[in-house]
């Protein structure tokens, strides 16, 4: 039994590490403009930032799903998705990312809709905590921190150089709230579809909070076309790959 449990744990650690690295590469590509603008220098410059941001935002998001599910008596563990990793990397080549490198798989013979909703909302709420930590620390250390992400993403070539730590904290905040947005899309199998089915007021309150936090660090109108595009692509992928992603 101990050997079996150790093997399962080792697989989970391996899967989440592969997913973490793949998503970090994807975000680094996306942040440097994708294949049309990427340079090796820019990619390598952003890669450590992306890895820290993804590790805090994605890994903690998935672990919180697991811990809450286990509190309800479920068996839960993260499993990578090879198809999802390919989708994540391909979309990142075009300057945005559909992050589907894997998910926490939950096995429970008796799981109520409310319990499923609690497990699903736990991930995005974790992203809120990561956002709050990065934003509070960045604001305490750097004047004008709230505008750092906006100036880097939309400032063009005239944007002033940004200290590396400030840039890292700003993208921890941005990636965390972006992952909250993506996961709260009401598209199967994302968290949003389960939260929407469980409690619509909670779903809409969470969406409003996500857009409010995005608005603190980025111009929403500038992001809106990409957010709509991401929703459409996620919806199409959900319909096509519903049976084969995991």
* Residues noted as catalytic: 62
Number of Cβ within a 10 Å radius of residue 37: 10
Give, to the nearest 10 degrees, the angle between helix 220-241 and helix 82-92: 150
Spatial CB neighbours of 217, under 8 Å, sequence gap ≥ 6: 135, 146, 147, 148, 149, 150, 170, 173, 174, 177
Token pair 């990619």 is found at 43
Take residue 202 and report the two structure tokens written for it. Answer: 């909670």
Cβ(95)–Cβ(45) under 8 Å? no
Take residue 204 and report the two structure tokens written for it. Answer: 């809409």
Helix (H) or strand (E) holding 76: strand 75-80
């Amino acid at each position: 039994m101990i050997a079996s449990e150790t093997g399962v744990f080792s697989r989970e650690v391996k899967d989440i590490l592969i997913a973490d690295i793949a998503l970090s590469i994807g975000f680094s590509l996306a942040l440097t403009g994708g294949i049309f603008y990427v340079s090796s220098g820019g990619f390598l410059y952003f890669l450590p930032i992306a890895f820290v941001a993804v590790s805090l935002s994605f890994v903690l998001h998935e672990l919180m799903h697991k811990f809450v599910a286990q509190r309800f008596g479920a068996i839960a563990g993260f499993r990578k998705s090879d198809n999802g990793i390919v989708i994540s990397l391909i979309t990142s080549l075009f300057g945005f990312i559909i992050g589907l490198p894997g998910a926490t798989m939950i096995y429970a013979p008796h799981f109520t809709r409310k319990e499923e909703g609690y497990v699903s909302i736990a991930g995005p709420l974790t992203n809120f905590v990561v956002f709050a930590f990065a934003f509070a620390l960045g604001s305490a250390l750097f004047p004008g921190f709230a505008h750092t992400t906006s100036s880097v993403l939309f400032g063009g070539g005239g944007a002033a150089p940004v200290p590396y730590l400030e840039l890292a904290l700003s993208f921890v905040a941005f990636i965390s709230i972006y992952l909250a947005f993506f996961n709260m899309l009401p598209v199967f199998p994302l968290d949003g579809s389960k939260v929407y089915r469980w409690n619509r007021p909670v779903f809409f309150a969470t969406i409003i909070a996500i857009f409010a936090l995005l608005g603190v660090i980025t111009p929403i109108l500038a992001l809106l076309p990409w957010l709509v595009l991401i929703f459409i692509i996620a919806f199409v992928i959900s319909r096509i790959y519903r049976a084969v992603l995991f």
